[in-house]
C-alpha cells in the first residue's frame, strides 16, 4: 500500500481517501485469493476452483470500484477465447465471464510474486516469447487442452495498447484452434469513465508501474468495463493469419475503433 501511495499523483482529499479505501479492500481481497489458492485449492474439485476464480474476479472489480457490463454470452462450442488487450485487468475481466479459461501468458509473469501464485492456480500456460521453439510447444499444449475440453484465452496483440486502437493481431496462438478443429469466440473489451468514452485510468503503456496503475484505477470516477462477446467463428479451412485479421476486424467493428498497423 505504501508503494502505491508514494506513486500517487495529486488528487482532491476526498478522492484520495476513497481511492485508499478501494486499494485497502483490493489488497485484502488479493490476500484472500492467494490464501485460497495456496490452502484450499488442493482440496477443492475443479468446478469448485473455477467458481472461486469467477467469484474472486468479480469481487476484485467491486473492490476497485469498477462496474462491469457484459453483452452476449460465451459458448462452450467455441473454446478458444480471443480478446483485445488494454490492461492487466483484462485477465480478471475474462475470468469473471469465463472462470474455466486457461490463459496463455508470458513467462515473465512468474516474477510477479503473489500474482504468479494466482496465475498458477488458474492453470496458466506460460510462454517464453523469445524462444521460437517454446511457441511451438505452447501451440501444441493449447491445442491439446482444447481437444480435452478446456477453455483457453489469448490476447493476439501480445502486449497492451492504450485502448484507442488495435495493434496487429498475431496468428500463432490461433493455430491451436485450427489444429484442434474448434471454433473461436472474440471478446471486445473497453474501459470508460465519467468523462471519457475510452478511459486513460487503465492505461498500462509507456513504463507505467503496477503501483501507479492501481492508484489511477482506484482514483477513477465512474470507471466501467464494457465486455462485448461476439458470435463464434469457425476455423475449418482457415489460415491463422487470415483468421487473425478477421478477428481483429470483428473486435474493431464492435468497438468502433480504427485498427492500427
pLDDT in tens, 64-102: 999 999 999 999 999 999 999 999 899 999 999 999 999
Percent of the chain's residues with pLDDT above 70: 89
pLDDT in tens, 196-243: 899 999 988 888 888 899 999 999 999 999 999 999 999 998 999 999
Binned at pLDDT 50, 70 and 90, residue 136 comes out as confident
Cell of 1: 500500500
Asked whether residue 261 is assigned to any structural domain, the reply reads no
Asked whether residue 141 is assigned to any structural domain, the reply reads yes
Tell me the DSSP string of 81-115.
EEE----TTHHHHHHHH-TTEEEEEEGGGGGSTHH
Across residues 154-167, what is the average pLDDT? 88
Q: What domain count does the chain have?
A: 1
Determine the pLDDT at residue 112. 61
Distance CA 250, CA 223 (A): 24
Asked whether residue 72 is assigned to any structural domain, the reply reads yes
Q: Residue 208's domain spans which residues?
A: 2-255
Statement: residue 122 has pLDDT above 70: yes
Asked whether residue 28 is assigned to any structural domain, the reply reads yes
Determine the pLDDT at residue 178. 96
Asked whether residue 99 is assigned to any structural domain, the reply reads yes
Mutual angle of helices 210-219 and 13-35, in 10-degree steps: 120
- Helices marked H in the chain — which ranges? 2-6, 13-35, 46-64, 90-97, 114-121, 132-147, 175-180, 210-219, 240-255
The three-class DSSP label of residue 126 is strand
Cell of 34: 492467494
Question: pTM of this prediction?
Answer: 0.88
Asked whether residue 260 is assigned to any structural domain, the reply reads no
Residues in CB range of 97: below 8 A, 6 or more apart: 70, 74, 187, 227, 229
**Domain CATH code at residue 187:** 3.40.1130
Q: What residues are paired with 102 via a beta bridge?
A: 152
Asked whether residue 85 is assigned to any structural domain, the reply reads yes
Residue for cell digits 478446456? 150
Give the residue among 95, 18, 15 at the shortest CA–CA distance from 53. 95
Asked whether residue 31 is assigned to any structural domain, the reply reads yes
**Exposure string over 69-107, b if 16+ CB within 10 A, otherwise e:** eeeeebeeebbbbbbbbbbbbbbbbbbbbbbbbbbbbeb
Amino acid at each position: 500500500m505504501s508503494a502505491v501511495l508514494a506513486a500517487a499523483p495529486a488528487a482532491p482529499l476526498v478522492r484520495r481517501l476513497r481511492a485508499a479505501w478501494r486499494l485497502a479492500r483490493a489488497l485484502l481481497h488479493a490476500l484472500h485469493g492467494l490464501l485460497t489458492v495456496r490452502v484450499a485449492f488442493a482440496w477443492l474439485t475443479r468446478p469448485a476452483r473455477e467458481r472461486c476464480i469467477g467469484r474472486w474476479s468479480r469481487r476484485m472489480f467491486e473492490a476497485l470500484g469498477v462496474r462491469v457490463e457484459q453483452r452476449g454470452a460465451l459458448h462452450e462450442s467455441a473454446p478458444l477465447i480471443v480478446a483485445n488487450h488494454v490492461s492487466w485487468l483484462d485477465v480478471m475481466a475474462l475470468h469473471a465471464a469465463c472462470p474455466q479459461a486457461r490463459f496463455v501468458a508470458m513467462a515473465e509473469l512468474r516474477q510477479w510474486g503473489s500474482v504468479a501464485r494466482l496465475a498458477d492456480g488458474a492453470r496458466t500456460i506460460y510462454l517464453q516469447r523469445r524462444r521460437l521453439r517454446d511457441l511451438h510447444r505452447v501451440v501444441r499444449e493449447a491445442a491439446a487442452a482444447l481437444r480435452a475440453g478446456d477453455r483457453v484465452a489469448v490476447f493476439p496483440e501480445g502486449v497492451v495498447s492504450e485502448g484507442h486502437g488495435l495493434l496487429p493481431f498475431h496468428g500463432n496462438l490461433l493455430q491451436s484452434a485450427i489444429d484442434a478443429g474448434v471454433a473461436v469466440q472474440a471478446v471486445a473489451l473497453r474501459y470508460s469513465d465519467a468523462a471519457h468514452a475510452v478511459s486513460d485510468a487503465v492505461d498500462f503503456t509507456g513504463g507505467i508501474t503496477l503501483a501507479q496503475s492501481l492508484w489511477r484505477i482506484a482514483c477513477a470516477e465512474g470507471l466501467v468495463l464494457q465486455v462485448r462477446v461476439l458470435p463464434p467463428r469457425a476455423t475449418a479451412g482457415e489460415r491463422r493469419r487470415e483468421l487473425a485479421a478477421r478477428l481483429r476486424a470483428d473486435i474493431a467493428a464492435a468497438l468502433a475503433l480504427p485498427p492500427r498497423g
